[in-house]
């Protein structure tokens, strides 16, 4: 009897050890996915704009890498599979929250070359802005930040060797991948501009239209990635790659120089934080992005209104959101620019009293024309050429990264022999006070061009905590609309009780002070809602095909993750979990 009892005890012990080992490896939660949820998984989630990038990130997590390891692998994969935005030649932002609650931001935004100057896009004789020069071709390019950013992330947080993380991207560049319908559409759309600023031998230039299933092999890019693999950031900012960049720039009259590349350094920054509805802490990007400040201004301003009772996309809710947005974007134009060059009054802009004063001029029944709104004292919606990804690992480390080349394929110049596109980030500076950029955004002194300065951005990778725990990871492309899309996604989940996927799918609206208009997706607002808004004095409405393309993760009450990819209109975005 004693023997049987001992065996039983031993078996129970072994069983409990096995369970413990298993739970060390994988979280054990019962997953019940509701029909209105995105992808649900217990241990890790990767949401990116491309299936190959999502798979590469997920493989890293499954192999035991953390969210930062996966992010570095995903970023390099996107540089290969999403040439229009993925980028080595651009820049971006990271917002992170580690499993023990440490939060931070990395600014790997591009910087203006040393030879840049305030009025370089103003024609002296006519005083007119040479808008095209800041958009298409070599002069539009600023010093890229992506490779330095990934290097900093790797050194601070990653557990796997860099070589292991970049290798999948090299393999895809070398072996090729079958392009999607969406890729073919974007490549075909840019042919005319490609031809203007590249030799006809450039690999994206094709005599016959690109079509789904065509193989894209990028040999020059694979060699550039190999140089980065073998030499780290120096494989990009120095030596052969740097020389190719400078040769390319010189061939087209650009001003980027070797020293600009050598001197580039991304910067760790303190995120913007603010409380929404008592329990939620918003963590988002500080300047050089305007995103974090405006999202927190909008949400703090929203605390005074009960959106749940007002309803989703009703005239009352849209009216209040529009009023908040026009005030916040007026502040953007006046007060925001690169922190290292301009004293952005962050404290004032986020101060509860200041926000209450701004709210005080909001009439519940009547629109305030934007012409009557000024910044507080102290038109075009581009297609989506930036890209965002969100990752959470099994420990709960969360990474939210948005990166861009600005326009699709940036300034459209592919660096000869190096195989990557250069950004057209000059456009995001204020080229002349009051002159709108491609997103219709205006600005002034705070965002004027200066050597080494970062241009103001709207990109806002964001993380939300609930009662001190990780709750949501989100971000989107969309130029000036990025901020409002993030704002509405947060409100959709917190106030309207939507799942992450419902929030992402929900139709969005956008306003940005100037131009004074409400821009919306088709069917975002019904005709009765629009009539009511018109009665309130909102005069201009415009329908656009899409606002944002969010890639987001929500932490469910049982601790598992809901990954929501955005496939409005077109795109290949996908969430993958395990």
Contacts with ligand DON by CB under 6 A: the residue count is 14
**Set 186, 314, 386, 550: catalytic member:** 386
Contact segment (CB under 6 A) with ligand DON among 31-39, 71-79, 274-282, 455-463 equals: 455-463
Q: Per-residue x/- mask for ligand DON, residues 371 to 390, rule CB under 6 A?
A: -----------x-xxx----
Minimum distance from CB of 348 to ligand DON (Å)? Answer: 23
Assess 406 for contact with ligand DON (CB under 6 A).
Answer: yes
Query: Of the two residues 454 and 556, which places its CB atom closer to ligand DON in the complex?
Result: 454
Cβ-based neighbours of 440, under 8 Å, separated by 6 or more: 379, 380, 381, 480, 512, 514, 515
Burial 115-151 (b: 16+ CB within 10 A, else e): ebebebbbeeeeeebebebbbbbbbbbbbbbbbbbbb
Q: Which of 284, 447, 457, 529 binds ligand DON (CB under 6 A)?
A: 457
Contact segment (CB under 6 A) with ligand DON among 48-56, 272-280, 352-360, 471-479 equals: 471-479
Helix (H) or strand (E) holding 300: helix 291-302
Minimum distance from CB of 107 to ligand DON (Å)? Answer: 11
d(CA 571, CA 191): 19
d(CA 354, CA 378): 11
Cβ-based neighbours of 289, under 8 Å, separated by 6 or more: 93, 107, 109, 456, 457, 458, 459, 460
Q: Are 480 and 456 in contact (CB under 8 A)?
A: no
Query: Of the two residues 349 and 555, which places its CB atom closer to ligand DON in the complex?
Result: 349
Minimum distance from CB of 428 to ligand DON (Å)? Answer: 5
Q: Which of 39, 459, 524, 565 binds ligand DON (CB under 6 A)?
A: 459
Q: Which of 419, 477, 576, 577 binds ligand DON (CB under 6 A)?
A: 477
d(CA 16, CA 18): 5
Contacts 24+ apart (CB under 8 A), 489-498: 489/550, 489/552, 490/276, 490/280, 490/282, 490/295, 490/299, 490/462, 490/464, 491/299, 491/302, 491/307, 492/312, 493/554, 494/276, 494/277, 494/280, 495/277, 495/307, 495/308, 496/307, 496/308, 496/312, 497/308
Minimum distance from CB of 413 to ligand DON (Å)? Answer: 17
Query: Of the two residues 218 and 481, which places its CB atom closer to ligand DON in the complex?
Result: 481
Q: Which of 65, 254, 419, 478 binds ligand DON (CB under 6 A)?
A: 478
Query: Of the two residues 486 and 560, which places its CB atom closer to ligand DON in the complex?
Result: 486
Q: What are phi and psi of 85, to 5 degrees?
A: -140, -25
Query: Of the two residues 386 and 397, which places its CB atom closer to ligand DON in the complex?
Result: 386
Assess 479 for contact with ligand DON (CB under 6 A).
Answer: yes
Helix (H) or strand (E) holding 95: strand 91-97
Minimum distance from CB of 558 to ligand DON (Å)? Answer: 34
Structure tokens at 124: 């002296």
Minimum distance from CB of 82 to ligand DON (Å)? Answer: 12
Contact segment (CB under 6 A) with ligand DON among 96-104, 176-184, 267-275, 454-462 equals: 454-462
What is the distance, to the nearest Å, from the Cα of residue 203 to the centroid of all Cα atoms in its chain? 27
Q: Which of 43, 111, 281, 428 binds ligand DON (CB under 6 A)?
A: 428
Contact segment (CB under 6 A) with ligand DON among 34-42, 73-81, 453-461, 532-540 equals: 453-461
d(CA 69, CA 59): 10
Give yes or no: 386 in active site.
Answer: yes
Query: Of the two residues 110 and 562, which places its CB atom closer to ligand DON in the complex?
Result: 110
212 CB neighbour count, 10 Å cutoff: 12
Minimum distance from CB of 569 to ligand DON (Å)? Answer: 13
Applying CB under 6 A, the residues found at the interface with ligand DON are 382, 384-386, 404, 406, 428, 457-459, 477-479, 482
Could you list the active site residues?
386
């Amino acid at each position: 009897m004693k023997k049987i009892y001992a065996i039983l005890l031993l078996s129970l012990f072994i069983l409990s050890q096995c369970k413990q080992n298993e739970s060390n490896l994988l979280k054990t939660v019962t997953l019940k996915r509701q029909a209105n949820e995105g992808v649900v998984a217990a241990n890790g989630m990767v949401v990116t704009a491309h299936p190959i990038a999502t798979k590469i990130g997920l493989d890293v997590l499954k192999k035991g890498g953390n969210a930062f390891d996966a992010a570095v692998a995903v970023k390099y994969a996107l540089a290969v599979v999403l040439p229009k935005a993925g980028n080595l030649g651009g820049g971006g932002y990271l917002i992170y929250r580690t499993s023990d609650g440490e939060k931070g931001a990395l600014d790997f935004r591009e910087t203006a070359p040393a030879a840049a100057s305030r009025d370089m896009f103003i024609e002296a004789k006519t005083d007119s802005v040479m808008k095209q020069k800041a958009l298409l071709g070599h002069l539009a390019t600023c010093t890229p930040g992506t490779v330095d950013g990934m290097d900093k992330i790797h050194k601070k947080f990653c557990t796997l060797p860099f070589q292991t993380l970049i290798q999948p991207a090299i393999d895809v560049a070398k072996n090729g991948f079958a392009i999607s319908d969406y890729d073919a559409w974007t490549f075909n759309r840019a042919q005319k501009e490609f031809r203007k600023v590249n030799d006809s031998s450039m690999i994206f230039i094709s005599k016959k239209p690109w079509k789904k299933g065509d193989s894209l092999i990028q040999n020059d890019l694979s060699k550039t990635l190999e140089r980065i693999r073998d030499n780290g950031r120096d494989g990009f900012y120095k030596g052969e790659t740097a020389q190719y960049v400078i040769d390319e720039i010189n061939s087209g009259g650009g001003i980027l120089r070797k020293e600009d590349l050598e001197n580039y350094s991304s910067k760790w920054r303190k995120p913007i934080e603010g409380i929404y509805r008592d329990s939620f802490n918003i963590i988002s990007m500080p300047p050089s992005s305007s995103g974090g400040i405006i999202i927190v201004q909008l949400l703090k301003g929203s605390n005074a209104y009960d959106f749940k009772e007002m309803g989703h996309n009703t005239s009352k809710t849209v009216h209040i959101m529009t009023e908040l947005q026009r005030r916040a974007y007026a502040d953007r134009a006046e007060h925001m620019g690169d922190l290292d060059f301009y004293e952005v009054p962050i404290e004032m802009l986020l101060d509860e009293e200041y926000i209450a004063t701004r709210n005080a001029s909001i009439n519940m029944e009547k629109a305030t024309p934007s012409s009557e709104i000024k910044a507080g004292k102290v038109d075009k919606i581009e297609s989506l050429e930036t890209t965002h990804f969100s990752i959470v690992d099994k420990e709960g480390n969360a990474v939210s990264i948005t990166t861009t080349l600005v326009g699709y394929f940036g300034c459209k110049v592919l660096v000869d022999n190096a195989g990557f596109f250069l950004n057209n980030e000059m456009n995001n500076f204020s080229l002349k006070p009051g002159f709108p950029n491609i997103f219709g955004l205006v600005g002034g002194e705070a965002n004027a061009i200066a050597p080494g300065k970062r241009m103001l951005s709207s990109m806002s990778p964001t993380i939300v905590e609930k009662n001190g725990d990780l709750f949501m990871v989100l971000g989107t492309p969309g130029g000036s609309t990025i901020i409002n899309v993030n704002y509405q996604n947060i409100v959709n989940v917190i106030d309207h009780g939507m799942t992450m996927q419902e929030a992402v799918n929900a139709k969005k609206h956008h306003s940005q002070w100037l131009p004074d208009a409400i821009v919306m997706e088709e069917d975002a607002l019904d005709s009765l809602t629009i009539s009511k808004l018109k009665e309130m004095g909102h005069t201009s409405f415009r329908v656009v095909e899409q606002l944002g393309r969010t890639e987001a993760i929500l932490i469910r009450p049982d601790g598992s993750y809901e990954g929501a990819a955005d496939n409005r209109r077109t795109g290949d975005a996908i969430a993958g979990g395990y």
